[in-house]
């Protein structure tokens, strides 16, 4: 695993932290969150790297040893280690849902199309973010390396900064291959401010920030072994499991979220390498 993180943001408009808006009210930001925390509030901090502790333990059941490619190891391979990528507050692709009538069938279709286009725009920026700190450009049957990046927030409306905003905690960017070479390597982003926000403001979330980072990392890496999210075509409860379902951060159960069962192990071992 190559683990990177965004750089520490600055108190500037460019980084999304307008000095004029520093405070503890709604629509403001500060270096620590007040109690109670307003719905639309951000904390200025450097997003930590993805935490592979849970992934490392769980993958042993599939006979996979997970190791971090530390800067020392990367340097020993004759490569230059770049641990940080420039800070990006929100990925691009804002869609104003107020412009669409949820009861109108044509508006529903138009909103779906707008969201698809916005997701595509965000994916382009996410790949650019990961590309700027990726050192190990190899992921093959004889040498596996997935990159994880500690990021801040996904798109506006997906960052849990409003009552109707979805809290997206991570995203996987699958390997893209042509007939002759790999064009884009497997990488994923963990959105740490959204995680912090969910833990701080959603009373149904019972996980700590540390546990959420580990669970999101585990979930995103499983995508590279063709695990499918609940609600998506092809999802199989037994083969994809609870960790790919919804509400895992609100459940007191641990079994099924932190371990692999035989069907999941079989699914992993069918792959020549994660992509």
- The per-residue pLDDT for range 153-163, each reduced to its tens digit, is 999 988 988 87
Q: Report if residue 275 sits inside a domain.
A: no
Query: Are the beta carbons of 4 and 133 closer than 8 angstroms?
Result: yes
Which pLDDT value is given to residue 98? 81
Which pLDDT value is given to residue 143? 83
Q: Please give the C-alpha separations between residue 148 and each of 84, 120, 132, in angstroms, as whole numbers.
A: 11, 20, 12
Q: Report if residue 260 sits inside a domain.
A: yes
Query: Are the beta carbons of 265 and 61 closer than 8 angstroms?
Result: yes
- The per-residue pLDDT for range 13-63, each reduced to its tens digit, is 999 999 999 999 999 999 999 999 998 999 999 999 999 999 999 999 999
Which pLDDT value is given to residue 26? 94
256 pLDDT above the threshold of 80 = no
What total of structural domains would you count in the chain? 1
254 pLDDT above the threshold of 90 = no
Q: Report if residue 274 sits inside a domain.
A: no
Q: Report if residue 264 sits inside a domain.
A: yes
Tokens of 239: 């083969």
Which pLDDT value is given to residue 96? 84
Q: Please give the C-alpha separations between residue 226 and each of 58, 101, 198, 234, 244, in angstroms, as whole numbers.
A: 17, 35, 27, 10, 11
Q: Report if residue 58 sits inside a domain.
A: yes
- The per-residue pLDDT for range 118-150, each reduced to its tens digit, is 999 999 999 999 999 999 987 777 888 999 999
Which pLDDT value is given to residue 206? 87
Q: Report if residue 141 sits inside a domain.
A: yes
CA-closest candidate to residue 224, choices 175, 178, 169, 270: 175
pLDDT band at 186 (very low <50, low <70, confident <90, very high): confident
pLDDT band at 203 (very low <50, low <70, confident <90, very high): confident
Cβ neighbours for 7, distance < 8 A, ≥ 6 positions apart? 46, 84, 85, 86, 87
Tokens of 117: 């286009």
Dihedral-angle region of residue 204 (phi above 0 means left; psi in -120 to 50 means alpha; beta otherwise): alpha
Rounded (to 5) percent helix, strand, coil in the chain:
35, 15, 50
Report the b/e string of 105-135 with b at 16+ CB within 10 A: eeeeeebeebbeebbeebeeebbebbeebbb
Q: Report if residue 50 sits inside a domain.
A: yes
170 pLDDT above the threshold of 80 = yes
User: Which structural domain range is residue 192 located in?
Assistant: 2-269
Q: Report if residue 83 sits inside a domain.
A: yes
Q: Which of 36-45, 59-68, 90-99 has the lowest mean pLDDT?
A: 90-99
Query: Are the beta carbons of 54 and 258 closer than 8 angstroms?
Result: yes
Query: Are the beta carbons of 93 and 121 closer than 8 angstroms?
Result: yes
CA distance 46 to 39: 21
Which pLDDT value is given to residue 164? 76
Q: What is the pTM of this model?
A: 0.93
Which pLDDT value is given to residue 49? 98
Strands 182-184 and 176-177 turn out to be antiparallel
């Amino acid at each position: 695993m190559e683990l990177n993180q965004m750089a520490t943001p600055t108190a500037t408009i460019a980084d999304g932290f307008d000095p004029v808006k520093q405070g503890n009210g709604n629509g403001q930001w500060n270096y620590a969150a007040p109690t109670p925390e307003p719905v639309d509030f951000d904390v200025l901090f450097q997003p930590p790297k993805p935490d592979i502790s849970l992934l490392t333990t769980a993958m042993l059941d599939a006979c996979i040893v997970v190791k971090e490619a530390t800067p020392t190891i990367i340097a020993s391979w004759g490569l230059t280690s770049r641990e940080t990528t420039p800070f990006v507050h929100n990925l691009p692709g804002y869609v104003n849902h107020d412009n669409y009538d949820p009861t109108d069938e044509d508006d529903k279709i138009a909103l779906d199309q707008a969201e698809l286009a916005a997701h595509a725009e965000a994916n382009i920026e996410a790949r650019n973010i990961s590309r700027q700190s990726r050192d190990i450009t190899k992921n093959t049957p004889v040498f596996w390396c997935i990159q994880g990046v500690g990021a801040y927030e996904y798109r506006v409306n997906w960052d849990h900064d409003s009552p109707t905003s979805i809290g997206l905690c991570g995203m996987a960017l699958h390997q893209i291959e042509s007939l002759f070479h790999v064009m884009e390597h497997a990488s994923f982003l963990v959105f740490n401010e959204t995680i912090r926000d969910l833990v701080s403001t959603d009373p149904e979330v019972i996980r700590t920030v540390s546990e959420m980072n580990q669970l999101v990392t585990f979930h995103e890496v499983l995508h590279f072994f063709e695990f499918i999210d609940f609600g998506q075509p092809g999802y199989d409860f037994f083969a994809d499991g609870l960790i790919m379902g919804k509400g895992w951060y609100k459940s007191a159960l641990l079994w099924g979220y932190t371990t692999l069962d035989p069907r999941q192990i079989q699914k992993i071992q069918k792959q020549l390498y994660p992509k």
